[in-house]
Structure 1
Amino acid sequence: MKRTETNNEINYIPVKSPLAWDEYFMLQAMMASFKSKDPSTKVGAVFVDENNHQVTMGYNGFVAGIDEEKLPWGKDPAAPLEFQKYGYVVHAEANAILHSKENLKGTKAYVTLFPCHECAKLLASSKVNEVIYLSDKHCETESNRISKKIFELAGIKYRQLEIKDTIINEMHKHFQVLLEQVL
């Protein structure tokens, strides 16, 4: 039990087992995805070194420094690329790599969506050791198959992480307690 004092009252909050590192960093990637303005697909990425220290993070969004109001969020495959978001969006993994001040060799990448083949090339070129992903909603696509081939040829391990409902429920309760303390 952890003792907290508020308004001269003592509250005891049961301390649960800490999150596993995989769960912790995937939740960090999920939080990073909240920064994305993409109305349909919000993706986050967090890179971690061998000591479990976060090295960099990213989320999907338009190219930094350009007027986003002039760019489309549409994704109609019948429309020319010029009128779709795909021509302008930088993926979460790419943003994390671009903004890293550290060498990413030997890191783990936690991503909320399995990387496309373009990001797989960047991850392999950055010498990432492992990719841990949450969703594989594009598992039947050619891009996904190419990504897996790149990872296998580069010796990059990849695995899907399942966030248990109990963790989501605990997070919800935890945030409720925190919000009650500040509101």
Structure 2
Amino acid sequence: MDPVEDSSAQSGPRYAAGALLGWGLARTKRTFYDWVEESLHDLPGGLRGYLVLAALTAGRPPSQLALANQLDLDRTLMTYLLDELETAGLVQRRPDPADRRARQVLITEAGSKALAECSSRVEEAERRLLAPLSAAEATAFRAMITRVAGGSQEGSDTSEPCPPVQLGSDCPETPKSRRRPAARQK
């Protein structure tokens, strides 16, 4: 591939539109995911289990469905993940007092302790990933990636990104228009 000069960047040649951005994003995601999964090897569900525990620390206990939507996980996958976390004593499910058909998910004391321990490991993976950047650049990168991630969701309000981007906030359920279509049976 022949490089095309990019006058806006001082880092040298730029290849076909988006190729370096795509490569950089993919490599960064893969590296971070690998490091986090390695550091969370003993947590049921790994990174997904961590995201569930982190999301459960915000406000009113969410329903199982709301939690799946908030974390953009398939409902069936969420059920299996919660089964693993519940077996490990990290979460518990109970009927929602406001809607007995729904199940609330709550973090247990053991889950809170596991989250605190795992958070330090995830923070270490972040520090490792962002080590080539100065502190100011790392802060700016986090802000920009959060804004880009929020803006990449159709019809989203980028001023208030939902977890897992901004853990600890309470987000509404995903609108039906953003839900994935059910798999067709053959």
Bin of the TM-score, shorter chain as denominator length? under 0.3
**Which structure shows the bigger proportion of residues in helix conformation?**
2
**Which structure shows the bigger proportion of residues in strand conformation?**
1
